[in-house]
A and B are shown apart, each in its own frame.
Chain A
Amino acid sequence: MKMFTSLEIPASRNKTWRGFFIILVLLALPLVDVLAGVLVAPSVVILSDKNRTGRLNLQNPSNTPKEVGISFSFGIPESDSLGNVNIHLQDSAVTDPRSALGWIKAFPRKLIIPANGSQIVRFVANPPKNLTDGEYWARIVVESQEGATSIPMATKGDKITTKLNMIMRTAVMIKYRTGDLVAALKLNDAQAKKKDSLINVLVDLSNEGNVSYIGLLKCRLVDADGKEISKNKIQLAVYHDLKRSMTLPLKEGNYKKPYKVEVTITNKGRKDIPVDEMVFGNDISYTMTLNN
């Protein structure tokens, strides 16, 4: 009996496997094309008075060239009274004094990324004079379209044919920083309410610095002895005022009442943003006791 290792495949089996892989690759090629979008990185572009240029890497993993358009909007995370967060993009009539819309330019603004290729888009800030210290914001909107933009032809003279162009926009934050930067967050209010087997936590926050407070919101549900029942964390970005909600599962177990919710807010520990791009500020810790 002969044992086969990965380096020792008999010629006949080798041919079979080779044929199988070729068929697999050929089958996968159109799939790659259909599924591929444009990759956009990084998730935040930082410019400053010391370095007024930045870059965004766009990658086309498909086997066909892709036409991409670059534009700018203004949009920061905003919340409703329940702590649901949304970003409303505005192209004009922006009244926020921290808007960088209009004075950051992209080069190029229209580009074709070759198949399986990548392209760098560069940004240059030309801020107005006497800008007060702090951070200014805009969104880079990367627009790409899947497939050809051609309109389908009706097959017969009396027929109506339809085609919907599926257009994708990725909005990436771009920030311009100048002067002394201060990250400071204030906790206005925190509430925890039990609903069925969940604890709903709502925190009301205000940005008291001159940069966006980028961090983490962590919550722990503990019993009277400090034994952990559940925990959760979410990424946090506070530009002005923001309410954020979070749910904690109330697990069954031998836990002693009253339960407590420990809230921690910190801008340390974000792994998606390079440390040298972070502006570190205060941490917040707060504990609430659940009434029921």
Chain B
Amino acid sequence: MFNQSKVNFSRVLITALALALFMIPSAVMSQDVANGQATATVQTPLTVTATAALAFGTVFQGVAKSVAVNDAAAGVFTITGQGGTGISVYLQLPDYMSTATGDDRMVIAFSSTDCSIDTTGVVDPTGTIVGWTGINPYSLPATVTVSGGGASSAIFLGGSVNPSVDQAAGAYTADIILTVAYNGS
């Protein structure tokens, strides 16, 4: 009985010593950590989103159709990132829309007033835009900034399609590309 208790006591002692050996460097390391300085840089990711596609819907042969930049059907891109930071924005616009086979084309045009940019968080094309209204989409301003407080900067786009009188019926498509880059880094 006594021997058994002694063995148990020895085991406990050895275990305690082993734990103590592990804890000593751990305590030293803890001290190091406590003395160190933790620093972190919060980086805001840049996000570009197509909130709404420029939508002409169904069009008819020989009848031009336009969507104004302040129309609900206007295309909308939104940009979020580090508030107040300067960005360069560039639109690549198509000259025509084509069918899936590429056999038929339809002219699409953008006038020098078909774009607006808001830098205050307005993302509705029918809303009150604060920034640039009715500007040239082929030459966007160089002083666009990301809205502050987590709000989005928005780019609105109108345009027009001109189907010919003998335009072939079918589904026409084209790409509108917006490129965004921080210009201060």
The reply to whether B47 and A37 contact each other, CB–CB distance below 8 Å, is: yes
Give Cα A44–Cα B181 distance, bound, in whole angstroms. Answer: 11
The reply to whether A164 and B43 contact each other, CB–CB distance below 8 Å, is: no
The reply to whether B45 and A41 contact each other, CB–CB distance below 8 Å, is: yes
Residue ranges of A at the interface with B (Cβ–Cβ < 8 Å): 34-44, 57, 59, 75, 77, 80, 84-87, 89, 139, 141, 145-147, 151-173, 214, 234-237, 271-275
Closest Cβ of chain B to A199, distance in Å, is 16
Closest Cβ of chain A to B58, distance in Å, is 5
Q: Per-residue 0/1 for B33-57: is the Cβ within 8 Å of any A Cβ (1 yes, 0 no)?
A: 0000001011111111111111111
The reply to whether B75 and A43 contact each other, CB–CB distance below 8 Å, is: no
Could you say which of B106, B167, B172 has the most chain A C-beta atoms within 10 Å of its C-beta?
A: B172
The reply to whether A271 and B88 contact each other, CB–CB distance below 8 Å, is: no
- Interface status of B121 (Cβ within 8 A of chain A): no
The secondary-structure label for the interface of chain A is: strand
Q: Of B49, B172, B183, which is within 8 A of A162 by CB?
A: B172
Give the chain B neighbours of A152 by CB distance below 8 A: 171, 173
Q: Of B45, B47, B48, B61, which is within 8 A of A160 by CB?
A: B61
Q: Of B47, B88, B185, which is within 8 A of A85 by CB?
A: B88
Closest Cβ of chain A to B77, distance in Å, is 7
The reply to whether A77 and B183 contact each other, CB–CB distance below 8 Å, is: yes
Q: Of A39, A41, A162, A272, which is within 8 A of B173 by CB?
A: A162
Closest Cβ of chain B to A169, distance in Å, is 4
The reply to whether B45 and A39 contact each other, CB–CB distance below 8 Å, is: yes
The reply to whether B181 and A160 contact each other, CB–CB distance below 8 Å, is: no
Residue ranges of B at the interface with A (Cβ–Cβ < 8 Å): 39, 41-61, 75, 77-78, 81-82, 85-86, 88, 90, 94, 97, 99-100, 106, 141-143, 161, 163, 167, 169-185
Give the chain A neighbours of B179 by CB distance below 8 A: 89, 141, 169-171
The reply to whether B53 and A160 contact each other, CB–CB distance below 8 Å, is: no
Give the chain A neighbours of B48 by CB distance below 8 A: 37-38, 168-170
The reply to whether B171 and A166 contact each other, CB–CB distance below 8 Å, is: no
Asked if A272 meets B77 with Cβ closer than 8 Å, knowing A37-B49, A165-B176, A168-B49, the reply is no
The reply to whether B41 and A274 contact each other, CB–CB distance below 8 Å, is: yes
Smallest CB-CB separation from A145: which chain B residue?
A: B50
Q: List 11 A-B contacts (CB under 8 A).
A: A37-B49, A38-B47, A39-B47, A57-B45, A77-B88, A151-B99, A151-B100, A160-B61, A172-B46, A173-B181, A273-B43
The reply to whether A34 and B51 contact each other, CB–CB distance below 8 Å, is: yes
Q: Of B77, B106, B170, B181, which is within 8 A of A154 by CB?
A: B170
Asked if A151 meets B177 with Cβ closer than 8 Å, knowing A35-B51, A271-B42, the reply is no
Give Cα A153–Cα B44 distance, bound, in whole angstroms. Answer: 40
Smallest CB-CB separation from B60: which chain A residue?
A: A160
Smallest CB-CB separation from A37: which chain B residue?
A: B49
Q: Of A40, A164, A237, which is within 8 A of B174 by CB?
A: A164
Closest Cβ of chain A to B184, distance in Å, is 3
Closest Cβ of chain A to B16, distance in Å, is 42
Give the chain B neighbours of A42 by CB distance below 8 A: 43, 45
Give the chain A neighbours of B177 by CB distance below 8 A: 167-169
Could you say which of A40, A145, A147 has the most chain B C-beta atoms within 10 Å of its C-beta?
A: A40
The reply to whether A154 and B169 contact each other, CB–CB distance below 8 Å, is: yes
The reply to whether A235 and B85 contact each other, CB–CB distance below 8 Å, is: yes
The reply to whether A170 and B46 contact each other, CB–CB distance below 8 Å, is: yes
Closest Cβ of chain B to A153, distance in Å, is 6
The reply to whether A87 and B59 contact each other, CB–CB distance below 8 Å, is: no
Asked if A163 meets B53 with Cβ closer than 8 Å, knowing A39-B45, A275-B39, A275-B41, the reply is yes
Give Cα A147–Cα B173 distance, bound, in whole angstroms. Answer: 14
Give the chain A neighbours of B178 by CB distance below 8 A: 166-169
The reply to whether B161 and A162 contact each other, CB–CB distance below 8 Å, is: yes
Smallest CB-CB separation from A57: which chain B residue?
A: B45
The reply to whether A159 and B58 contact each other, CB–CB distance below 8 Å, is: yes
Give Cα A165–Cα B141 distance, bound, in whole angstroms. Answer: 23
Give the chain B neighbours of A164 by CB distance below 8 A: 53-56, 75, 94, 97, 173-176
Asked if A272 meets B185 with Cβ closer than 8 Å, knowing A162-B161, A166-B77, the reply is yes
Smallest CB-CB separation from B43: which chain A residue?
A: A42
Give Cα A170–Cα B173 distance, bound, in whole angstroms. Answer: 23
